[in-house]
Amino acid sequence: MRATVMFGAGDVRIENVPDARLIEPTDALITVTRACICGSDLWPYKTMEPSDTVRVMGHEAIGVVEAVGADVRSIKVGDLVIMPFAFSDGTCEFCHEGLQTSCVHGGFFGTVEIAGAQAEAVRIPQADGTLFVLPVGKDDALMPSLLTLSDVMGTGHHAALAARVGPGKTVAVVGDGAVGLCGVIAARRLGAERIIILGRHADRIALAREFGATEVVSERGNEAVERVRELTGGLGVHSVLECVGLEQSVLTSVSIARPGGAVGRVGVPQDETMPASQPAFYNNVTVSGGPAPVRAYIEELLPDILEGRIEPGKVFDRVVHLEEVPDGYRAMNDREALKVMVKP
C-alpha cells in the first residue's frame, strides 16, 4: 500500500510499504477516508536526524472498518469510525478515569512502533476501546469538523479544561495554529466571557474572531505580556491555553496568568525543563495539561458538531491527495497552509 514515510528533516516521501493487516485479535483494520497533517508532525519535519527506519506518519483519521480480529466486540466491518491519535483499551483504570492517553495497554499512532494514518489503510490496536463509530456517511458535509475530533478539537478542549475555563472567565489563547483556534472554540463553548488570542497571522486572527475571540494581541515576549496586562486592568487572565510548546510561549503563558490562575499546556514541549518556575510559584499559578485524551471528549463534542453549534473543520484550508502529502508538509511548514486534510 501507499503510505507517508519520514526519513529525516524535510524528507517526507510516499512509499510502497507492506499492507496494513490484523496482528492481534483485538485489532481492526480501516481504510482511511480522511487524514490530516498535524502541527506536531512538523517537529520531526524540522529536526529529525536522517534514518532508514520506516516511520509511517499520521495520527488523525476517519476510515471505514475493513476487518476485525476475533476478540473485537463493538466494532463491525463497514462502520465509519474516528481514530483518535492514541489507542486505548477502554477498560483499564486510566481509561475509566477518562485519561486514555495513559492507558496501560495504549500507545500512539504514527510512531516507529505503530504505523500512522497518512496512508491507504491503518491497523488499529485495541479497536473496541479506541474507535468511535460515527452516525453519518463517509462523504457527509460535516466530515472536516468530525475529523478534528481525532485530535485538534479535543486537544483545544483539553487545554481549556486544564486551564479551568468557565463562565465569566477571562481567557488567553497562546498560539494561532489549528489547536489554538480550536481552543478558542472550546473556551467560548465553556462560557468564557473574554477570549484574547495571541497571534499575528491575519487570516488566522480572522478565524479566531469568527470562533469567538474578543481581543487580539499580536506583540511577542515582554510586549505581549504588557499588552495582556493592560487589557486586564493589570491583573492578568484567569485561564491560559498554551498551544505552542516553545520556551517563549510557556514563559508568556505563565506571565499573563493572574495570581491563582491556571495554564493548560497542550503544545508538545520542546525543552526538558519547564520555563517560568518562579513566576508560577510566586503567583500560585497552576500549570497543567498534557496529551489530550481525545477519545474521552468525542461523546461530549460530537453533538455540537452534528447540530452545527461549532465548526472546527474551518481550520482546514487545503486538501491534498495522498501522493501530494509531501507538498502539504512543505505548505504547513512554510505557513502557506494552516491545516492540511488528506483524501487518500
In this chain, which of 4, 33, 88, 170 binds Zn ion, going by CB under 5 A? 88
Contact assessment for residue 83 and residue 60, using Cβ atoms and an 8 Å cutoff: yes
Distance CA 131, CA 148 (A): 14
Strand 215-217 with 194-198, pairing: parallel
Least distance to Zn ion, CB of residue 176, Å: 33
Contacts 24+ apart (CB under 8 A), 302-308: 302/146, 302/149, 304/189, 305/142, 305/145, 305/146, 305/149, 306/135, 306/136, 306/142
Instruction: Name which position in 12, 37, 80, 103 contacts Zn ion (CB under 5 A).
Output: 103
Q: Closer to Zn ion by CB, 101 or 255: give it.
A: 101
Joined together, the cell numbers standing for residue 51 give 534514518
Site string for Zn ion, 33-72 (x = CB under 5 A): ----------------------------------------
Binding-site member from 30, 37, 92, 287 for Zn ion (CB under 5 A): 92
Query: Residue 297 CB, nearest distance to Zn ion (Å)?
Result: 16
Helix (H) or strand (E) holding 189: helix 178-189
Question: With contacts defined by CB under 5 A, how many residues of the chain interact with Zn ion?
Answer: 5
88 versus 148: smaller Cβ distance to Zn ion? 88
Crossing angle of helices 178-189 and 202-211, in 10° steps, is: 20
Least Å from the CB of residue 135 to Zn ion? 25
Q: Would you report the helix, strand and coil content of the chain in percent, each value rounded to 5?
A: 35, 25, 40
**Which of 249, 242, 247 minimizes the C-alpha distance to 288?**
242
Site membership for Zn ion, residue 228 (CB under 5 A): no
Angle at 14 between CA 9 and CA 15, to 5 degrees: 110
Task: Name residue, grid cell 497571522.
Answer: 201
Q: Do residues 161 and 264 lie in contact, with contact meaning Cβ atoms separated by under 8 Å?
A: yes
CB nearer Zn ion, residue 98 or residue 259 = 98
Q: How far is the CB of 121 from Zn ion (least distance, A)?
A: 24
The piece of 31-39, 61-69, 91-99, 147-155 that touches Zn ion (CB under 5 A) is: 91-99
Site for Zn ion in 137-196 (CB under 5 A): none
Rounded distance between C-alpha atoms, residue 174 and residue 243, angstroms: 6
Distance in angstroms (rounded) separating the CA atoms of residues 160 and 318:
26
CB closer to Zn ion out of 104 and 141? 104
Q: Does 89 bind Zn ion (CB under 5 A)?
A: yes
Q: Toward Zn ion, which CB reaches closer, 31 or 88?
A: 88
Looking at beta carbons only, is 2 or 105 nearer to Zn ion?
A: 105
Q: Which stretch binds Zn ion (CB under 5 A): 68-76, 98-106, 203-211, 274-282?
A: 98-106
CB of 319 to Zn ion, least distance (A): 34
Q: Is residue 95 at the binding interface for Zn ion, with CB under 5 A as the rule? A: yes
| Of residues 92 and 163, the one with the C-beta less far from Zn ion | 92
What separation in angstroms does the CA of 237 have from each of 13, 152, 197, 222, 254? 44, 23, 12, 16, 10
- 302 near Zn ion (CB under 5 A): no
Q: Which residue, 95 or 185, is less far from Zn ion as judged by CB?
A: 95
Q: Kindly indicate which of the ranges 8-16, 35-43, 82-90, 205-213 contains the residues binding Zn ion, using the contact rule CB under 5 A.
A: 82-90
Which range, of 16-24, 99-107, 271-279, 311-319, touches Zn ion by CB under 5 A? 99-107
DSSP 3-state of 176: coil
The span of 16-24, 72-80, 97-105, 251-259 binding Zn ion (CB under 5 A) equals: 97-105
Binding site for Zn ion (CB under 5 A): 88-89, 92, 95, 103
